[in-house]
Amino acid sequence: MNGTVMSVSCSGSHTFSKQPQASISLLAGLGVEGDAHLGETVKHRSRVRQDPSQPNLRQVHLIQAELFDELRAKGFNVSAGDMGENITTQGMDLLSLPTGTRLHLGESAVVEVTGLRNPCAQLDTFQPGLMAAVLDRDTQGTLIRKAGVMGIVVTGGEVRPGDAIRVELPPTPYRPLERV
């Protein structure tokens, strides 16, 4: 299962949405150059309040563009960068990847998937009802979080729209994604 980078986005401040860019630079062990969430330790404000020394497992946020299609069908107007993601992918099911999957982006960048984005109430501030729209239940009643995945930068490099994404699965047994 490989895919394509549809869009890349960045914001130097803690805004909900991020602005699409021509390219972003991923820095090993830190995240997206110029992004408010760049750093070895956690930068998400709610997590900083809990423990600012936690490792930053949320350096890069990825969302599959297919979610936007699903949300548009439900009446929402959402585009690349609107939900705070750095990389919008196309043609791959990010949510089905196991923890530890490595995504090779473009010529050299590698992001290791650490877990699921836990949707927050800011989604409803952006568009009322959006938080509920990115949550679902499977047939057993287990909560499904559809707001993307988070990762850390293993190898730095430039990432641009149109870049190929190659998936490298971790060794088995696979560990399912959990919220981070």
Distance CA 4, CA 126 (A): 27
The answer to whether residues 81 and 9 touch, using CB atoms and an 8 Å cutoff, is yes
What are residue 10's DSSP bridge partners?
Answer: 19
Map tokens 């949510």 to a residue: 95
168: tokens are 């490298």
90: tokens are 């196309």
Strands 149-155 and 157-159: unpaired
**3-168 adopts what CATH topology?**
M1 Pyruvate Kinase; Domain 3 (2.40.33)
Distance CA 45, CA 48 (A): 5
Whole-structure pTM value: 0.96
- Of 146, 139, 18, residue with least CA distance to 71: 146
12-16, 19-23, 57-61, 166-170: least confident range: 12-16
Query: Residue 173: is the preceding peptide bond cis (ω within 30°)?
Result: yes
pLDDT digit string (tens) for 101-159?
999 999 999 999 999 999 988 999 999 999 999 999 999 999 999 999 999 999 999 99
